[in-house]
Chains A and B, each alone.
Chain A
Amino acid sequence: MVRYQRGDVRSFDDLYDSLKPGLLRYILSRVMDRNRAEDLLQQTFLQLHRSRHTFLPGNSVPAWATGIARHVCLMDLRSRGRRARHETPAGDELPDIPVLGEAEALGDREAIAKALSSLPDDRREALVMHHLQGLSFAEIAGILGIRVEAAKVRAHRAMQMLGKLLEKVKATTSGEGQKNRLAGGPPPKEAP
């Protein structure tokens, strides 16, 4: 990052490679649309370049870049107006949200993605930053402007909510399966 600040363009390539996956996951978790996420990722990197002087040497690069990505997402939301803020994916439409590696053991990918998308924004944000991007709670606190304890609580509660939502989904699926069996219908689909 310091080389990049000194004007070494080639160091941007390494920076791009190391930051892109995490930033894309974060933006996807916010906008839930791959095309829009890619546009915002481009905007994030442009903003990152324009404000490269705001990186204070010695600090965490992923936390700084995520802070910029968050800012870009919020500004995008603001520019689209309130209607976009309350946009929710249509009933059966599955959001493009990335699935937590740890959570994959809890159930099938589709159910987790759907459960994740129904979490409140602030909790999902902390969960994604910690589990998908690997940011520490201190870094998350610096990005969100909250205390470290508050960041921990948000991520923990998000995980609890996710577990409950998945249990509900499982219960609904098994209930439907039983009904189908009594009616002589097809058995429920197995999770992949």
Chain B
Amino acid sequence: MRDRVFESIRTEIERDARPVQPLRPPWKRALLVGVSCLVLCVLILVTAGLRTDYRNLQSVLWSVTLLQLAAAYSLAAPALRLVIPGRLPAAGLLAWLAAAGTAVQLVASALIFRHSPSFPPLGKELTTWVACLSVTVCLGILPAAAAFVLGSRGLPVRARLFGLVCGLSAGLGAEAAWRLHCPISDPLHTTAHTSAIVFLGIMALIAGAVWERRHVRRLWPRTVS
């Protein structure tokens, strides 16, 4: 006999003592998010085709896409550390990475507009704006879901922050893929692409909050109203 805490836990542990596979390091697991973004790029190229102004861009387009995918991966890797107790990344690092992601997005838009300025058809500005926003958000669901599946194996230590960073990462990846097809580089139009990233971040933050709430309910089923 040790103490009452020990005795009650011991029975629970004996009931479920199956061996478990420890999680792989976050940087390895984040590769799945990176791969899902690459899959999106291939999917866009196969189904919708390259943008019509590709001749003006060529290597610039590929460099910008690679840069955005790298930014998406570098956000996903520390985000997956947010679900591992005792291994949380510093909030400052996350803020710095988010700022770097924003900078990448702005630089990418500016570079493409500089090399190939193109505008939406007259009178269809709003339609194209909404269409691009919706497509980018829909595309971002795949990498965001991949990140959440990976994250759900951990503990929601900072679930909301995890959701927000994963959403931003998925948004960046989806935007990189959609930019391969969308030929409009007008700065006003590209705000639709950027808004999609922000929208995905907010949606993922809400998903993180729901995950956390469900976790609390599981821990304390009677006390939560």
Name A residues whose Cβ lies closer than 8 Å to a Cβ of B.
Answer: 5-7, 9, 12, 16, 20, 38, 41-43, 45-47, 49, 51-57, 59-60, 63-68, 70-72, 75-76, 78-81, 139, 141-147, 150
Contact = CB atoms under 8 A, between A and B. Distances in A.
B224 A145 contact: no
Say which size band chain B's interface belongs to: 35 or more
B216 A41 contact: no
B86 A66 contact: yes
A139 B23 contact: no
The 10 closest A-B pairs by CB, nearest first: A67-B85, A145-B88, A67-B86, A7-B19, A63-B86, A64-B86, A53-B20, A79-B220, A45-B9, A147-B90
Contacts, number: 120
B154 A59 contact: no
Contacts of A57: 22
28 contacts: A5-B19, A5-B20, A6-B19, A7-B19, A12-B10, A45-B5, A47-B155, A47-B219, A53-B22, A54-B23, A54-B83, A54-B84, A54-B85, A54-B153, A56-B22, A56-B87, A64-B87, A67-B85, A68-B155, A71-B85, A71-B155, A72-B219, A75-B216, A79-B223, A79-B224, A142-B86, A142-B87, A146-B90
Interface of B: 2, 4-6, 8-10, 12-14, 16-23, 25, 82-92, 153-158, 215-216, 219-220, 223-225
Contacts of B223: 79-80
Contacts of A78: 216
Nearest to A39: B5
A145 B89 contact: yes
A142 B88 contact: yes
